[in-house]
Amino acid sequence: MKESSETKERIVKVAMELFYRNGYSETGINEILEKSSSFKKSLYTHFSSKTELGITYIHWIENDLLEMSKKVMRKYPKFQDFIRSWIRIIKNRTLRNFSNGCPLANMPLNTPEIQKEVKIVFQNLKDPFINYFMTNYKISRSRSTEISEEILFLYEGAVTSFKLDPNKRYFEFLEKHLDYISREL
């Protein structure tokens, strides 16, 4: 059983790296198998299709982003403090791991299953922000949702712009615009 679990982890790890670096559509099953030193039978023992492996990737991204954001939110109930810490983490992670842009936004929406999962994950990423503003600032749900959507819009813009032009100033723009939001609170 342990060998099966290790094989699955190896396949997932390689698939995540390849999906991010080369893109989901440009990554083939054979490449995943070759780089993970796995057999087709092993892959299909754990995943029914490349789509299922892609959905596993989407949920890994979701868990990673949610865990990071929630941790910073718990530590910094004041939005101004949250901004500084969150941007520092995003900037470091982008420079170190995500130079190709946001892994979630880079997923193609060409299959109904992938599209459905990305939409669910995007909503799930808003929820901690919505709760953060409702709890810490006693803002209505609709206004908290609007602010959360602005934050994610600005985040995607900064990370995507950095992908197109690797210049740290995009994170400064992100911070500047989040400062505008914080003044409204």
What digits encode the pLDDT tens for the residues 33-54?
999 999 899 889 999 999 999 9
Q: Is 158 left (phi over 0), alpha (psi -120 to 50) or beta?
A: alpha
Q: Both 165 and 74 in a single domain?
A: yes
Average pLDDT, stretch 138-163? 94
Mean pLDDT across the chain, nearest whole number?
90
Residue 179 clears pLDDT 90, i.e. is over it: yes
Q: Is residue 2 one of the residues assigned to a domain? A: yes
For residue 16, give the CATH number of its domain: 1.10.10.60
Q: Is residue 54 one of the residues assigned to a domain? A: no
DSSP character at residue 70: H
Q: Both 38 and 69 in a single domain?
A: no
Q: Is residue 12 one of the residues assigned to a domain? A: yes
Q: How many whole angstroms separate alpha carbon 81 and alpha carbon 67?
A: 18
Q: Both 39 and 71 in a single domain?
A: no
Write the CB contacts of 28 (distance below 8 Å, at least 6 apart in sequence). Answer: none
Average pLDDT, stretch 64-91? 94
Q: Both 28 and 103 in a single domain?
A: no
Q: Both 72 and 108 in a single domain?
A: yes
Residue 162 structural domain: 59-184
Average pLDDT, stretch 83-105? 86
Number of domains in the chain: 2
Query: pTM of this prediction?
Result: 0.83
Q: Both 35 and 95 in a single domain?
A: no
Q: Both 76 and 37 in a single domain?
A: no
Q: Is residue 53 one of the residues assigned to a domain? A: no
- Please give the pLDDT value at position 69: 94
Number of Cα atoms under 13 Å in the Cβ half of residue 164:
8
Q: Is residue 23 one of the residues assigned to a domain? A: yes
Q: Both 100 and 168 in a single domain?
A: yes
Q: How many whole angstroms separate alpha carbon 102 and alpha carbon 97?
A: 10
